[in-house]
Amino acid sequence: MSSHGIAEGRPSGGRLKLRRPSSLMGYLMIGPTMVLLVIFSYYPFFSSLFYSLTNWDGIQSVFIGLTNYKNVLANPEWWLSMGNVVFIWIFSVLRVLILPLLAAELLFNIRSIKAQNRYRALLITGGLAVPWMVIALLWQTFYHPGYGLFFQVFQALGIEHLAPQWEGTRWMALTKTMVMGFPWVGGLNTLIYLAGLQAIPNELFDAAKVDGVSGLFQRLFRIDLPLLLGQIKLLIILCTSGALQGYELIMVMTGGNPFRQSMVPGLLMYYKAFVYREFGYGAAIAVILFLLILAITYLNFKYIRSSTEYEASS
């Protein structure tokens, strides 16, 4: 950056000095940021790597090499968790791909702008203006076998013996966590799709019509979906990292029940580290998950990045 400004003398006389900002200013301005990052992000990151190689329990620490990793991989609960993660992942991808996309298409194709904005505002408010914990606790109430909404509906219809036992088995416990929040259209996902749709230039739609693409379904599959690939991939990536690492929801909805069958890796880490104080073991779990995410991201970059990805945004 060169200061080629014309330094005009002020009417009051005297020369103007155009002060170029110094390097020092740059460092000062990023100073707080870097200090905070090092203390709360970088140092902990490398510490985790280090802890995972010890048996640190808050009192004493002995270097034990890869023992923690061996123990994790030999733990049947670990593999149980990974199985649950697969289930959760499939469910979340379905949740994120089908209904929010439908909702975004509906919003996009509504004629009246006022109505579109109104529906959009209602969906956003319903989805984001309420804390996730509130939704979780609310649905916990719905799932209760005595006074829960589901049971009440079955009871009103006279078929209460058919009512689902939401905590009965491993798969029911996982399902109830994933069903929560139906119809899953409130919040960010729908907005992201809508943004993607609005970014498609109108000329494309007109050209398609000229080329004979008629009817909503044809247009949907031949125009919209290919052009939404970017958003779809983003959401799938978020689902993947969420399924691998997420555990707060499971903790609140099932706590790992029944009998730790709905355990997920993150929850295992939480219990091992903060309940049993086995920090080394917990750190090992965190590192393994980190490496998994890294591997998936790498694979995504290398193989799934297709050259036919359409860029609709200008």
Q: Which residues in 246-275 contact another protein (CB under 8 A)? A: 248, 252, 266, 269-270, 273-274
Q: Which of 196/262 has CB closer to another protein? A: 196
201 binds another protein (CB under 8 A): no
**How many whole angstroms separate alpha carbon 314 and alpha carbon 37?**
34
Q: How is residue 23 written in tokens? A: 């390097």
Single out the segment in contact with another protein by CB under 8 A; choices: 161-169, 182-190, 205-213, 253-261: 182-190
Q: Which of 94/294 has CB closer to another protein? A: 294
**How many whole angstroms separate alpha carbon 187 and alpha carbon 155?**
32
Q: Which of 121/225 has CB closer to another protein? A: 121
Q: Tokens 């966590």 label which residue?
A: 177
Shortest CA distance to 224 belongs to which of 97, 100, 101?
Answer: 101
> Do 88 and 174 contact (CB within 8 A), yes or no?
yes
191 binds another protein (CB under 8 A): yes
Min separation Cβ 217 and another protein, Å: 12
Q: Which of 29/299 has CB closer to another protein? A: 29
3-state secondary structure of 200: coil
Q: Which of 73/294 has CB closer to another protein? A: 294
Single out the segment in contact with another protein by CB under 8 A; choices: 14-22, 64-72, 158-166, 219-227: 14-22
Q: Which of 171/227 has CB closer to another protein? A: 227
Q: How is residue 262 written in tokens? A: 């709905």
Binding positions for another protein, 32-51, rule CB under 8 A = 32-34, 36-37, 39-45, 47-48, 51
From candidates 11, 12, 15, 23, binder to another protein by CB under 8 A: 23
- Residue 226 CB partners (closer than 8 Å, separation 6+): 310
Q: Tokens 């949740």 label which residue?
A: 95
Shortest CA distance to 222 belongs to which of 209, 237, 235?
Answer: 209
**How many whole angstroms separate alpha carbon 17 and alpha carbon 44?**
46
| Beta-carbon-side half-sphere exposure of residue 107 (alpha carbons within 13 Å) | 27
Residues β-bridged to residue 63: 54
From candidates 59, 113, 134, 275, binder to another protein by CB under 8 A: 134
**How many whole angstroms separate alpha carbon 173 and alpha carbon 85?**
13
Q: Which of 22/306 has CB closer to another protein? A: 22
Min separation Cβ 172 and another protein, Å: 20
16 binds another protein (CB under 8 A): yes
Binding positions for another protein, 138-177, rule CB under 8 A = 138-142, 146-147, 149, 152, 156
